[in-house]
Every structure is written in C-alpha cells, then in structure tokens.
Structure 1
Amino acid sequence: MDRLLANRTVNAAQSGEGPPLVLFHSLLSDRASFDAIVPELARSFRTIVPELPGFGRSSAVECGGLAAIADRMADAVHDAADGTPAIVLGNGYGGFVALQMAIRHPAIASRLILADCGAAFSEPGREAFRNMARVSREKGLAAITDIAMRRLFAPDFQAQHPALMQDRRDAFLRTDLNVFCAACDALASLDLRAELRSVTVPTLVVVGEYDEATPPPMSYELAGGLPTAKLRVIPGCAHVPQLQSPKLFLDTIGDFLAIQHNAPA
C-alpha cells in the first residue's frame, strides 16, 4: 500500500504491523532495492519504504541541499510513525540522508542502521562524485551506467546475475538527471564528522566487505565517531548487501532489531 507523507511530497510503500521501521534507498538504486527483505521485516514491523525526494513519485527538494532533503524526510518519518520515534535504516545515499536527519532532528529516530555510508568522503571519493556529475551532465546517465553498476556490485556478481543487473540498470536510468547531479555535488562536499557526537541513539553501522562506493574505512570512521555505534562488516558483499545477499543482511541486522526470521536465500 502506498501513502503520501510530508504534505503529500513523499511517496512511500507501507506493509506489516508493529513498531515503525523506515528504509531509505541509495542514490544509484530505488526503493525496489529493499524488495527482497521487506516481506520478512514486515512480519515484525510496520515497514515504510519511501522514495527519496526527486525519485519516483516523490517531489524534488529545489534548494537547500542535503540538509533540506533530511528535513523533508524527517517530516515524512514523523508522519509515517504517527509522531513517535522510528527505527530508520539508510543504505548508501539513504544512509547519509538518515545520518543528517538524525543530527538535525535528534528525536526522530529510536535506532539507526547506517549501511554502506559514512560521515565524509576522501578526496578521491569526492572527485569520483564530481566526475560522475560532470559526465552525466554532458552525456546523460547512460554514459556512467557501467561505473554506477560497478559501485553497486562486484564484477563477478554482475556476471552471475544478468537479469538482476538489467533491472538495476533500468532503475538507474529512470533517475532524474538533475536530482542525481545535485546529490553528487552534495556528497562531494559533505563532512558530518564534527557533528557525530550529537547522535546518541543506538546505531548499527554495517558495510559490505567489497564496497567500492563507500569503502569500509568510511564505516570504521563513522562508527568510531558515533557515541553508541556498533560495526558489522558483511563478508562477500558490496554497496547494496540487502540485494546481493538478503539472508546475510538480515542475519547481520537481526540481533540489533531483535527479530527472528526466515529470510530469502
């Protein structure tokens, strides 16, 4: 079931009953990247999967950068959770949005799961975003689709799952070009390290062992800067472990969520 949140600016899918659990998708993907784990999570939680601003049927945020996006999503989480603190899980870009949201709105989340993100990129990481924005502005998203897919999945995984990869390519090419470039610009300049100490809710930081988009050292730094964070490395996975290995991802976050599950293979 879809519902409109934050004054009808954010479109979200909702399923299940229980405490609210909100999932933020990555920049190089869409909310379907959670499809393999939502049915299991919905057994224990009211699971809400919004389309981030500018994706799908959610309205773009016209100015204010990542802070304004975080504010929009705080309104959406507040609506989705009926004003109570929610568990928020963000993957990649969604993790950066969730972290910025928790910094700016300390009461919005009861717990955080930050998957494959960080507090700041290295200079090579910043340059990668600047390059993706430049090339996509000049030539369109198709010109960087191969790069985008390499940032999501290791080459061996791509070769073994051609149907999934075609689906992910198609999803990426549906991304709004201006939204994508603005997000790249925001991530290229982002540095939240000085503000991490203000995030005092229990936090689980998880990262794929082979993540090239947000490499594991970023998660180590993030977990070290958060007062109550635990870190888990997911073996054999890259930037979207919930797609690559749903069962392993659910196993990794299960204790933190205190759920029992029988996840898809």
Structure 2
Amino acid sequence: MNQFFADGTVNAEVFGDGPPLVLFHSLLSDRTSFDRIVPPLAKNFRVIVPELPGFGSSQAVDGDLPAVADRMAACVREAAAGQDVMVLGNGYGGFVALQMAIRHPGIAARLVLADCGAAFSEPGREAFRNMATAARGKGLAAITPVAMRRLFAPEYQEAHPDLMREREAAFLRTDVDVFHAACMALAGLDLRAELAKVTVPVLVMVGDQDEATPPPMSEELNALLPDARLHVLKGCAHVPQLQAPDAFLEAIDEFLLGAAATRAA
C-alpha cells in the first residue's frame, strides 16, 4: 500500500502488520534495495519503506542533512501512530537515521545502522566531493561505474549482471541536484561529538568488503555510541540486504524481534 506522510511530502510503501519498522535507503540506490527483505520482515512488523526527500515521489528539502533528518522525523512520527518504532538505515539512510536520532531524542526505540558511520576520513570526503562535481558537470552516467563499485565488489558484479543492470537503472533515476547536495553533506559530516545523545540500543552492521563506508567507520561508530553492538557481514559490500538477504535478516532478527517481544509482554 502506498501512503504519504509528513504533510504529504514523503512517499512510502507500507507492508504487513505489527510493530512499526521504517527502512531508509542508501544514496546510491532507492527503496527497492529492500525488496528482498521486506516480505519476511512484514510477517512480524508493519514495514514502512519511504523514499527519502528528493527521491521518487518524495519532495526535496531546502537544506542539508539536518533538514532531511527533520523531514524524516516527521514521517517516522506519523507512521508510528503513537507506537514505539524501530528504524533501519542503509548507507546514506543510516546517516539520515543517525542525524535524526541526535536531533530528535526518543524518535526511535531501536536503530539498525548498516554500512554508515559518524565521519569520513579525508580520502572518503574527497571521494564524495569528486562524485558531486562529476555528477553536476557530466551527469550521473559518467559516475555510474564508480557508484556501482561502491555498492558491490567487482567479482559480485560480474556474477550478477541482471542485478547490476537493475541497480544502474535505479541509480540513474536519482535527481542530480539531490545527489550533489547529499554528497557535499556527507563530505562535511562529523557527528562524533554528538553520539552520546543516542542512548537507545543500536545494531551497527557493515559488510567486510564495503568500500563506500569501510568497516573502520562502523567500528568507530560502535565504540562511540552508548549502547551499541557490532555485526560484520562476511563477503558483503555496501548493500548487504541485496547481496546476502538471508544473512542480513539473521543478523537483525534477534535485535528486532527481541525488542518487539519485550514490548508485547
């Protein structure tokens, strides 16, 4: 079922029934990156899968990551309908979820942050600045190979040509201005000093082959958050829910279902 939240500005698909679980997609993908895990999650949760601001039918925001986080906080509050809600963010969606949790304490009862972090190294910042410049000057097609390499290791790409065509098409649908703004926001991001504000339980996940947000970023995030645990997904890159959905679900099940059972009791 398709619904709009946050005063009609955020478009989302809603599946299943149960405790609310909101999924935030990455910058290099779209909400269909969750298609392989939504059906099993919808057996236990009311799964809300929004398009982040500026993606698909969701309206863009004026401002950078804090403005995106505020818009998504309004979406999460409305979607939760007064219930405790859990939020899972992948990549850019993880950064949005983390910024949202800092700016809106208590917005989520639990967080799953997959393949993100609190700050990039200088080479990581430079990579985002370069992608932003190239996207605006030459178009997204010029950086599609770079984008796909940040999503999947070359060996995986060669073994899954149909999936790669699907992911390339999804990336090329991204609005260039939205992409540019997001890249520049991530290039300047440093949330480390504010992580103590996130007191809810957090599951930090990362693929050991992730080149976009390398494992040391998740290790640092896990160490600085007050209540976090780290899970490394072997053989995965930046979108493990696409690459290894069964392993991804196994990693999050206990964290999410345990919280749901506790609330039900």
Task: Please give the TM-score of this superposition, normalised by the length of structure 1.
Answer: 0.96
Q: Does 1:132 align with 2:114?
A: no
For structure 2, the residue ranges without an aligned partner over 5 or more in a row are 259-265
Residues 83-122 of structure 1 correspond to what in structure 2 (within 5 A)? 83-122=82-121
Partners of 1:77 and 1:215 lie apart in 2 by: 28
CA contact (8 A) 1:85 1:107 kept: no
Q: Could you say which residue in structure 2 is the equivalent of 1:199?
A: 198
Bigger drift between 138-147 and 77-86 goes to: 77-86
Using the alignment, how far apart are the partners of 1:83 and 1:172 within structure 2?
34
State the Cα distance separating 1:161 from its structure 2 match.
0.6
Alignment partners' CA distance in 2, 1:85 and 1:254: 17
- For 1:170 and 1:150, the matched residues in 2 are separated by 15
How far apart in 2 are the matches of 1:56 and 1:110?
27
Shift of 1:62: 1.9
Report the Cα offset of residue 85 of structure 1.
3.0
Corresponding position: 1:20 with 2:20: yes
CA–CA separation in structure 2 for the residues paired with 1:69 and 1:131? 22
Greater CA deviation, 141-150 or 77-86? 77-86
Residue identity in the other structure for 2:159: Q
**Secondary structure in 2 matching 1:60:** coil
1:35 and 2:26 correspond? no
Question: Normalising to structure 2: TM-score of the pair?
Answer: 0.96
Deviation by residue 1:138-188 (Cα, 9 ceiling, x = unmatched)? 100000000000000000110011000000000000000000000000000
SS at match of 1:109: coil
Q: Judge conservation of contact 1:37–1:246 (CA < 8 Å) in 2.
A: yes
Which residue of structure 1 lines up, in the alignment, with residue 157 of structure 2? Answer: 158
CA contact 1:126–1:188 (8 Å) conserved in 2: yes
Name the CA distance, whole Å, in 2 between partners of 1:198 and 1:105.
9
Q: CA RMSD in A?
A: 0.7
Q: Does structure 1 conserve the Cα–Cα contact (< 8 Å) formed by 2:19 and 2:83? A: no
| Counterpart amino acid of residue 53 in structure 2 | P
The separation in 2 between residues aligned to 1:248 and 1:165, in whole angstroms, is: 20
Matches within 5 A, 1:45-64: 45-63=45-63
8 A contact 2:19–2:84 mirrored in 1? no
Residue 234 of structure 2: aligned partner: 235
In structure 1, stretches of 5+ residues that fail to align are 260-265
Is the 8 Å Cα contact of residues 84 and 108 (structure 1) preserved in structure 2? no
Alpha-carbon distance in 1 for matches of 2:17, 2:83: 15
* CA shift for structure 1 position 241: 0.1
Matched position secondary structure for 2:48: strand
Identity %: 69
Structure 2 counterpart of 1:262: none
Quote the Cα distance in structure 2 between the aligned partners of 1:188 and 1:144.
17
Deviation string, structure 1 residues 11-62 (Cα, Å, up to 9, x no partner): 0000100000000000000000000000000000000000000000000002
Q: Distance in 1 between matches of 2:138 and 2:62?
A: 23
